[in-house]
């Protein structure tokens, strides 16, 4: 204890001596200016250098060398891929003790759905449509991560995604700009302790980093890192809004994306990083590249390391993640007049400002408080993980009200994901320990009186293909191929099924079948599991599929075979407890899809807010010379916004307080929502608007509002939305944000497929 206080005192003295005098009277600008006045060119470039030591998880082939030497020379601004309070503290001590100007470092990590306690994957969280819950998920993650030394998260990922072949759809909020913007805002506020940067220095908040700027979610053919080619109209109307919302919420940093935009990679794209981000949107924070995305511009064909580094800096990029092109080449480029000292100073200043906002100059060890260790994996985090998971599940089918299960039923719990912990945390939960996760079988066994009624069998491997499994198992075993043959596994499952009243089959994707560099050309459940599902369906017993997935899957066949389907995504540390609780009806599912589920992969990209075309097919009946397919309907298998409940809801026709609005007036649109079923439950009431005539072609429907409403069985409530001119605006052909007078159709209903509508005028 005494030693500890001596240590604390000496550390305090050390900090006072080590850090440039932090005079409270100085303003932020004065403090940073006087610090920068002392910095050499190399030290300034050091601030722009973000390194990875190579003993954590990496998402590229490069790791940094001579880490200690560089830190001591003041050549490192921040580090990521380092985990654990003690390690971080040591490195921070090195920075503030051994470097000439004692500037503290940023410590970042991909805290994208929880930290050590994994929450559901972001796509799942978005399916809750519950913004306070999503905000709380970011806040809980910030509490846990800042208790473990970190001060910066590479989240939220707000890329709009309409092509489920792209594995990273798992990391975002799906296909819609309105919902995506709400989620982006909630997450930034959650991480940063409020809107803006006012609460960043509490020690409990993380600097957020909005990524991947921009359009990373629209790679050609769904192949990760691929070319993006998109009209400006689509950018501004559909893909930009969530990034903009995050910036408006005060996100402190932005990460540039790997892809090119209009032929110029995002990391060197001045139009994007300066004209749009800073000049049009007023972003004041700093821009960090993605992993080696600066030097990857060599592969893009933009020149050598010096050329691409100069291109990036001049474009408005401030911090170089891992490439070290800034550090190594900008001095020569400066001499050659290819970059200016003003640009280097501006970048350095932005990074120092973020450190100032985080309170690091005041106390470099603000995020290294050992006393907070108990906050990691604490009971409240786990309880929240369960709550968040339950709210994210989407009930896709429930024939004969087979769900919720009854506690006296004998259950055959079958499937390769039924007794699995390693896949529960979900993709890119690098800090979570899968051993802490709860398998579904454990979740059943944790329920009093249920364990004795559950019989388990694996039934099949996630995939029988060892070559495929090896690609998935890069960071640890997610697909384990059983030593028993497929026939033996199936025989065991069928005998277990025969002894049951209801079969619950836990099937789907291993967690690393989605996420980064996990693009797929087939969205089917792997063949091994398809065979299992077919065989189980032939038993004639009620068949409940618990689907685990990081993306929409093509499950047309399985939807016919199953009695019920509960989509639980990859649900995090508390997955098993949450699944059991929802299956037994402790919580009535209320999630709604945030990405359309295609019938087959040929339909992608697929999303609800399509345009009509000149030859619409007017429904799912084939018409020659109409915009449709010969072999499948146009509609998705499950539309955006879709999700059932154990109860049922009815909607009245929308009622309007007036038939028209003007620029400065509004109207109220209402429906009476009634819980017509046998359970209490929540419904996400969705408002869509269609602009009937425009100067450019407009979507068939656009989400403009939603409310999550709880109703007891038999209860009714009037649900109202305010409609004003602002919500009718869009970017026109001149990229002006305008509304246009005329007729609008307004829909209020249970999913994007609703036809429950009335019309009104904008005069």
Strands in 660-661's sheet, in edge-to-edge order, are 660-661, 757-762, 742-749, 681-691, 702-711
* Binds ligand NOJ by CB under 6 A, chosen from 20, 41, 53, 59: 59
Kindly tell me which of 110 and 567 has the beta carbon lying closer to ligand NOJ.
110
DSSP 3-state of 746 = strand
Which residue's CB comes closest to ligand NOJ? 154
Rounded to a whole number of angstroms, the minimum distance from the CB of residue 266 to ligand NOJ is 11
d(CA 223, CA 228): 10
Kindly tell me which of 362 and 516 has the beta carbon lying closer to ligand NOJ.
516
Rounded to a whole number of angstroms, the minimum distance from the CB of residue 329 to ligand NOJ is 22
Dihedral sign for Cα 378, 382, 385, 391, please. Answer: negative
Count other C-beta atoms under 10 Å from residue 754's C-beta.
18
Give yes or no for a cis peptide into 247 (omega within 30° of 0).
Answer: no
Q: Does 113 bind ligand NOJ (CB under 6 A)?
A: no
Kindly tell me which of 214 and 390 has the beta carbon lying closer to ligand NOJ.
214
Kindly tell me which of 153 and 445 has the beta carbon lying closer to ligand NOJ.
153
Dihedral sign for Cα 296, 301, 304, 308, please. Answer: negative
For residue 585, the 8-state DSSP code is: T
Kindly tell me which of 265 and 705 has the beta carbon lying closer to ligand NOJ.
265
d(CA 312, CA 293): 10
Q: Does 226 bind ligand NOJ (CB under 6 A)?
A: no
Q: Are 571 and 583 in contact (CB under 8 A)?
A: no
Rounded to a whole number of angstroms, the minimum distance from the CB of residue 216 to ligand NOJ is 8
Per-residue x/- track, 503-542, ligand NOJ (CB under 6 A): -------------x--------------------------
Kindly tell me which of 57 and 648 has the beta carbon lying closer to ligand NOJ.
57
Q: Does 110 bind ligand NOJ (CB under 6 A)?
A: yes
User: Total binding residues for ligand NOJ by CB under 6 A?
Assistant: 8
d(CA 62, CA 52): 9
For residue 97, the 8-state DSSP code is: I
Rounded to a whole number of angstroms, the minimum distance from the CB of residue 611 to ligand NOJ is 31
Dihedral sign for Cα 602, 606, 608, 613, please. Answer: negative
Applying the rule CB under 6 A, the residues between 270 and 309 that interact with ligand NOJ are 290-291
From 148, 176, 290, 691, active-site residue: 290
Kindly tell me which of 262 and 516 has the beta carbon lying closer to ligand NOJ.
516
Q: Does 211 bind ligand NOJ (CB under 6 A)?
A: yes
Rounded to a whole number of angstroms, the minimum distance from the CB of residue 258 to ligand NOJ is 7
Q: Does 387 bind ligand NOJ (CB under 6 A)?
A: no
d(CA 142, CA 278): 27
d(CA 85, CA 92): 10
Rounded to a whole number of angstroms, the minimum distance from the CB of residue 154 to ligand NOJ is 3
Rounded to a whole number of angstroms, the minimum distance from the CB of residue 156 to ligand NOJ is 11
Kindly tell me which of 31 and 225 has the beta carbon lying closer to ligand NOJ.
225
Q: Does 243 bind ligand NOJ (CB under 6 A)?
A: no
Two tokens, residue 199: 């609460």
Q: Does 154 bind ligand NOJ (CB under 6 A)?
A: yes
- Helices (DSSP H) in 339-417: which residue ranges? 341-357, 379-392
For the chain, how many residues are written?
763
Applying the rule CB under 6 A, the residues between 708 and 737 that interact with ligand NOJ are none
Query: Both ends of the chain: CA-CA distance in Å?
Result: 74
Query: Residue 290 catalytic?
Result: yes
d(CA 26, CA 680): 57
d(CA 13, CA 32): 22
Rounded to a whole number of angstroms, the minimum distance from the CB of residue 513 to ligand NOJ is 17
d(CA 706, CA 700): 18
Per-residue x/- track, 589-618, ligand NOJ (CB under 6 A): ------------------------------
Question: Contact positions toward ligand NOJ, by CB under 6 A?
Answer: 59, 110, 154, 211-212, 290-291, 516
Q: Catalytic site residues?
A: 290
């Amino acid at each position: 204890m005494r030693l500890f206080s001596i240590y604390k005192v000496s550390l305090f003295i050390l900090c006072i001596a080590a850090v440039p005098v932090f005079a409270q009277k100085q303003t932020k600008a004065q403090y940073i200016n006087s610090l920068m006045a002392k910095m050499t060119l190399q030290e300034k470039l050091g601030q722009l250098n973000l390194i990875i030591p190579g003993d954590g998880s990496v998402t590229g082939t490069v790791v940094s060398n001579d880490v200690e030497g560089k830190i001591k020379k003041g050549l490192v601004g921040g580090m990521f891929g380092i985990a654990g309070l003690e390690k971080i503290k040591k490195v921070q001590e090195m920075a503030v003790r051994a470097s000439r100007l004692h500037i503290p470092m940023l410590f970042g990590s991909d805290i994208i759905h929880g930290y050590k306690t994994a929450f559901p994957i972001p796509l799942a969280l978005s399916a809750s449509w519950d913004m306070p819950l999503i905000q709380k998920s970011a806040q809980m993650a910030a509490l846990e991560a800042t208790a473990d030394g970190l001060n910066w998260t590479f989240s939220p990922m707000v890329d709009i995604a309409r092509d489920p072949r792209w594995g990273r759809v798992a990391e975002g909020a799906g296909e819609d700009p309105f919902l995506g913007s709400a989620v982006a805002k909630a997450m930034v506020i959650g991480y940063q302790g409020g809107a803006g940067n006012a609460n960043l220095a509490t020690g409990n908040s993380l600097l957020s980093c909005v990524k991947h700027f921009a359009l990373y979610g629209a790679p050609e053919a769904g192949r990760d890192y691929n070319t993006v080619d998109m009209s400006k109209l689509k950018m501004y109307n559909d893909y930009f809004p969530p990034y903009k919302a995050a910036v408006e919420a005060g996100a402190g940093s932005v990460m540039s994306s790997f892809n090119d935009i209009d032929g110029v990679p995002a990391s060197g794209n001045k139009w994007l990083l300066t004209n749009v981000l800073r000049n049009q949107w007023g972003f004041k924070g700093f821009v960090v590249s993605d992993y080696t995305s600066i030097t990857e511009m060599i592969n893009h064909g933009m020149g050598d390391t010096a050329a691409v580094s100069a291109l990036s800096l001049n474009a408005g990029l401030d911090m170089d993640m891992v490439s070290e092109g800034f550090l190594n080449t900008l001095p020569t480029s400066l001499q050659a007049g290819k970059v200016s000292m003003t640009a280097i100073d501006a970048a350095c200043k932005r990074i120092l400002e973020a450190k100032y906002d985080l309170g690091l100059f005041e106390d470099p060890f603000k995020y290294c408080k050992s006393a907070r260790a108990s906050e990691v994996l604490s009971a409240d985090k786990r309880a929240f993980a369960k709550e968040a998971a339950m709210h994210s599940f989407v009930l896709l089918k429930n024939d004969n009200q087979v769900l919720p299960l009854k506690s006296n039923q004998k259950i055959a719990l079958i499937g390769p994901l039924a007794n699995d912990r390693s896949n529960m945390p979900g993709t890119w939960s690098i800090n979570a320990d899968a051993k802490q996760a709860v398998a579904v079988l454990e979740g059943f066994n944790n329920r009093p009186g249920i364990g004795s009624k559950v019989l388990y069998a694996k039934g099949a491997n996630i995939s029988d293909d060892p070559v495929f499994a090896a690609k998935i198992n890069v960071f640890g075993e997610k697909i384990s191929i059983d030593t028993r043959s497929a026939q033996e596994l199936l025989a065991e499952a069928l005998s277990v099924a025969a002894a049951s009243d209801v079969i619950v089959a836990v099937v789907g994707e291993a967690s690393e079948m989605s996420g980064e560099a996990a693009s797929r050309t087939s969205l089917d459940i792997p063949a091994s599991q398809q065979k299992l599902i077919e065989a189980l369906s032939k038993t004639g017993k009620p068949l409940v599929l618990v689907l685990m997935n990081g993306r929409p899957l093509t499950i047309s066949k399985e939807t016919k075979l199953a009695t019920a389907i509960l989509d639980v995504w990859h649900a995090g540390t508390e997955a098993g407890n949450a699944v059991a609780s929802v299956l037994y009806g402790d919580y009535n599912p209320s999630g709604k899809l945030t990405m359309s589920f295609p019938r087959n992969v040929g339909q992608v990209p697929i999303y609800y807010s399509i345009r009509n075309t000149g030859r619409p097919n007017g429904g799912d009946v084939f018409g020659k010379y109409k915009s449709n397919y010969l072999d499948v309907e146009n509609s998705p298998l499950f539309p955006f916004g879709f999700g059932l409940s154990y109860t049922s809801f009815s909607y009245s026709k929308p009622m309007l307080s007036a038939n028209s609005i003007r620029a400065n007036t509004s109207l109220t649109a209402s429906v009476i929502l009634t819980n017509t079923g046998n359970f209490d439950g929540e419904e996400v009431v969705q408002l869509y608007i269609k602009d009937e005539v425009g100067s450019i072609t407009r979507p068939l429907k656009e989400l403009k509002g939603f409310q999550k409403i709880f109703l007891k069985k038999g209860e009714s409530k009037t649900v109202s939305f305010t409609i004003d001119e602002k919500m009718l605006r869009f970017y026109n052909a001149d990229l002006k944000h305008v509304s246009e007078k005329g007729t609008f159709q307004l829909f209020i209903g249970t999913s994007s497929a609703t036809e429950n509508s009335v019309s009104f005028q904008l005069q």
